[in-house]
Chain A
Amino acid sequence: MLERWSEELRQKMRGLTLELAGDRAPALEAMARRTDGEFGVDPFGFDPDYALAAMAPFAWLYKNYFRVEVHGIEKVPSGRVFLVANHAGQIPIDGTMLGVAMLLDHDPPRLVRAMTEKWAASLPYVSTIFARAGQIVGTPENCRRLLQMGEAVMVFPEGVPGISKLWPERYHLKSFGLGFMRLALETQTPIVPVGIIGSEEQAPALLNLRSVGKLIGFPALPVTITPIPLPTKYRIYFGDPLTFSGNADDEDTELDKKVRVVKTAVQGLLQQGLEEREHVFW
Chain B
Amino acid sequence: MSTESRQVVVVTGISGNLGRSLTKQLHRTERIVGLDRRPFAGAPKDVELFQLDLRKKKAEDVFRIHEVKAVIHMGIMHDPRMSAEEHHSFNVVGTTRILDAVAKYGVKKVVVLSSANVYGPSPDNSNFLTEDAPLMAASRFSGVRDLIEVDMLAHGFFWRHPDIETVILRPVHIVGPTIRNAPSNYLRLRHPWVLAGFDPMIQLIHQDDAARAMVEALRPGLRGVYNVVGPGEVPLSAVLRELGRTPIPVPHPLARPLLATLFRYRLANFPPPELDHIQFLCMVDGSRWRSDVGWEPQHSMKDTIRSVDGERAAA
Interface residue ranges, A against B (CB under 8 Å) = 37-41, 43-45, 118-119, 121-128, 131, 136-137, 139, 141-142, 145
User: Would you call A124 and B195 a contact (CB within 8 A)?
Assistant: yes
A38-B301, A39-B238, A145-B128 are known contacts. Are A124 and B123 too (CB-CB below 8 A)? no
* Per-position 1/0 for B108-141, Cβ under 8 A of A: 0000000000000001111111100000000000
User: Min CB distance, A254 to chain B, in Å?
Assistant: 26
User: Would you call A127 and B126 a contact (CB within 8 A)?
Assistant: no
User: Min CB distance, A133 to chain B, in Å?
Assistant: 13
Name 8 A/B residue pairs within 8 A (Cβ), A-sorted. Answer: A41-B233, A45-B127, A45-B201, A45-B233, A118-B123, A122-B123, A125-B197, A128-B198
Main secondary structure of the interface of B (DSSP, over half): loop
Contact-residue bracket for chain B: 20 to 34
Q: CB < 8 Å: which of B127, B196, B232 contacts A137?
A: B127
CA distance A41 to B233 in the complex (A): 9
User: Would you call A124 and B197 a contact (CB within 8 A)?
Assistant: yes
User: Would you call B130 and A141 a contact (CB within 8 A)?
Assistant: yes
A124-B197, A125-B197, A127-B198 are known contacts. Are A137 and B128 too (CB-CB below 8 A)? no
User: Would you call B124 and A137 a contact (CB within 8 A)?
Assistant: yes
A39-B238, A39-B301, A45-B235 are known contacts. Are A121 and B124 too (CB-CB below 8 A)? yes
- A123 CB contacts on chain B under 8 angstroms: 197
Interface residues of B in 202-252 (CB under 8 A from A): 232-235, 238, 251-252
User: Would you call B232 and A43 a contact (CB within 8 A)?
Assistant: yes
User: Would you call B126 and A142 a contact (CB within 8 A)?
Assistant: yes
CA distance A123 to B199 in the complex (A): 11
- A119 CB contacts on chain B under 8 angstroms: 123
Which residue of A118, A124, A137 has the most chain B CB atoms within 10 A of its CB atom?
A124
CA distance A39 to B238 in the complex (A): 7
Q: CB < 8 Å: which of B126, B196, B238, B302 contacts A139?
A: B126
**Besides A128-B197, A141-B128, 16 other A-B contacts (C-beta < 8 A):** A37-B234, A39-B235, A41-B201, A41-B235, A41-B238, A45-B201, A118-B123, A119-B123, A121-B280, A122-B280, A126-B197, A136-B127, A139-B124, A139-B125, A145-B127, A145-B128
Interface residues of B in 90-105 (CB under 8 A from A): none
Which residue of A37, A45, A139 has the most chain B CB atoms within 10 A of its CB atom?
A45
- A137 CB contacts on chain B under 8 angstroms: 123-127
CA distance A261 to B126 in the complex (A): 29
A137-B125, A145-B128 are known contacts. Are A43 and B199 too (CB-CB below 8 A)? no
- B232 CB contacts on chain A under 8 angstroms: 37-38, 43
User: Would you call A124 and B252 a contact (CB within 8 A)?
Assistant: yes
CA distance A234 to B101 in the complex (A): 70
User: Would you call A38 and B235 a contact (CB within 8 A)?
Assistant: no
Shortest Cβ distance from B199 into A: residue: A128
User: Min CB distance, A139 to chain B, in Å?
Assistant: 4
User: Would you call A131 and B123 a contact (CB within 8 A)?
Assistant: no
CA distance A123 to B200 in the complex (A): 12
* Per-position 1/0 for B175-213, Cβ under 8 A of A: 000000000000000000001111111000000000000
User: Min CB distance, B181 to chain A, in Å?
Assistant: 23
User: Min CB distance, B123 to chain A, in Å?
Assistant: 4
User: Would you call B198 and A124 a contact (CB within 8 A)?
Assistant: yes
- A118 CB contacts on chain B under 8 angstroms: 123-124
CA distance A128 to B198 in the complex (A): 6
Which residue of B201, B238, B300 has the most chain A CB atoms within 10 A of its CB atom?
B201
User: Would you call B234 and A39 a contact (CB within 8 A)?
Assistant: yes
User: Would you call B195 and A43 a contact (CB within 8 A)?
Assistant: no
- B126 CB contacts on chain A under 8 angstroms: 137, 139, 141-142, 145
CA distance A270 to B197 in the complex (A): 38
Closest A-B pairs by Cβ, 10 of them = A124-B197, A121-B123, A125-B197, A141-B126, A122-B123, A39-B238, A139-B126, A43-B233, A45-B201, A128-B199
CA distance A19 to B124 in the complex (A): 37
Shortest Cβ distance from A131 into B: residue: B201
User: Min CB distance, B70 to chain A, in Å?
Assistant: 33
- A139 CB contacts on chain B under 8 angstroms: 124-126
- B301 CB contacts on chain A under 8 angstroms: 38-39
User: Min CB distance, A124 to chain B, in Å?
Assistant: 3
